């Protein structure tokens, strides 16, 4: 992340806070782009369309995210909901990519 922005505990003005939020949002977007890149790779690698949805893996990913949230002091309920949405969006994207690659 951008080292020129103040850490949350060092913010003294709302401009500091907003700069930090904006920098964090940019970093999150970069991470999402990377995550969806892995979904493209998975779509390329998986041999069958049915292999895209894996409920056991989905559950494990969400549970790991909740555990990390708890460790980091982030609201666990929010993370559970956000990761459920993220995983579902990832599955939908991977299915689209799987189909596109096999046209």
What the block records as the tokens of 26 is 């940019």
Does residue 52 contact residue 26 with C-beta atoms inside 8 Å? Answer: no
User: Is 80 exceeded by the pLDDT of residue 77?
Assistant: yes
DSSP structural state of residue 81 = H
Compute the average pLDDT of residues 71-96: 98
Instruction: Give the pLDDT of residue 70.
Output: 98
pLDDT at 76: 98
Q: How far is CA 52 from CA 7, 9, 14, 94, 99, in A?
A: 39, 42, 44, 7, 11
Can you give the residue ranges of every domain in the chain? 8-101
Asked if the model's pLDDT at residue 1 lies above 90, the reply is no
> What is this structure's pTM?
0.90
Structural fold of domain 8-101: Chorismate Mutase Domain, subunit A (1.20.59)
Q: What is the pLDDT of residues 22-64, one digit of tens each?
A: 999 999 999 999 999 999 999 999 999 999 999 999 999 999 9
């Amino acid at each position: 992340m951008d080292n020129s922005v103040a850490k949350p505990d060092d913010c003294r003005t709302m401009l500091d806070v907003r700069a930090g939020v904006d920098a964090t949002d940019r970093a999150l977007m970069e991470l999402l782009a990377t995550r969806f890149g892995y979904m493209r790779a998975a779509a390329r690698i998986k041999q069958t369309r049915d292999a895209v949805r894996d409920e056991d893996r989905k559950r494990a990913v969400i549970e790991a995210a909740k555990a990390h949230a708890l460790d980091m002091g982030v609201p666990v309920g929010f993370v559970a909901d956000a990761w459920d949405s993220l995983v579902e969006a990832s599955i939908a994207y991977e299915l689209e990519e799987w189909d596109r690659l096999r046209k």
